[in-house]
Amino acid sequence: MIKVTRSAIPPTSLAARKSYAGDDVRDQLHADFLGKCYLCEGPIVRGSFEVEHRQPKGDGGGEFDWNNLFPACRTCNGARRRKHPPGGLLNPGEHHDLEQRIRQWMSKVGGQELPEFDTASPGDTQAENTARELQELHREKDQRSTDLCSAISRCLVEVRSKALEMYASYQQDGPNSVSYVQARAELRRMVSRKAPYTALVRYCVSDFPLVRVLFD
């Protein structure tokens, strides 16, 4: 989960209160959330993602409330709990300190790298609830979670490989070399907010100064 900026003006179709998933809503969610599921940060296709209510309609959430609508992949939406936890949840687009309040990293479990989530500050109920939700979505013992963790691991391998390539070019050919400039540009794209699984990937490469300065 990563910080985004939601458009301040709601899509016009919501005013009619007939559908919360009109074309303009879907287009704006896809753009605002950088073409990614807001929970797992996996890429979503404009015509196939689900418009989700962060606070369920049956649990007090506004059905046509623009700030309660989020783009989710089908698997994340289906796996979420249907009761809003006491104390609430963090919302990308609303809580701009989200990345500081939730710790997201990868840990070795049985020889495999798996996502971990926790609150940065004990007692931060919203962050605790959100970290628990993310942990459950990423660590369910089913094929969907296995596939998600494998995709994140593959992405990390590619980013680390490109980072090593960039460092090697820097040391061997210098900061003005074509090889370094090209590797740096490619790595910038791979760790941008628009890239898949950004929050987890950034944590795993944040110890490298030449990589960290590329974060947008």
Q: What is the pLDDT of residues 97-143, one digit of tens each?
A: 999 999 999 988 877 888 999 999 999 999 999 999 999 988 877 77
Q: Which of 99, 124, 156 is the last residue of a domain?
A: 99
Q: Report CA dihedral (45, 48, 54, 60) to the nearest 10 degrees.
A: 160
Whether residue 94 is found in the same domain as residue 108:
no
pTM above 0.85, yes or no: yes
pLDDT at 144 over 80: no
Whether residue 118 is found in the same domain as residue 201:
yes
Strands 69-72 and 50-53, by their bridges, are antiparallel
Enumerate residues 6+ apart whose C-beta is below 8 A from 202: 191, 215
Up-side HSE of residue 198: CA atoms within 13 Å toward CB?
A: 27
Predicted local confidence at residue 48, as pLDDT: 85
Q: Is residue 3 part of a domain?
A: no
Provide the number of structural domains found in the chain. 2
> Containing domain of residue 44, as a range?
12-99
Whether residue 51 is found in the same domain as residue 143:
no
Whether residue 109 is found in the same domain as residue 198:
yes
Whether residue 120 is found in the same domain as residue 194:
yes
Q: Is residue 39 part of a domain?
A: yes
Predicted local confidence at residue 79, as pLDDT: 81
Whether residue 76 is found in the same domain as residue 130:
no
Whether residue 110 is found in the same domain as residue 171:
yes
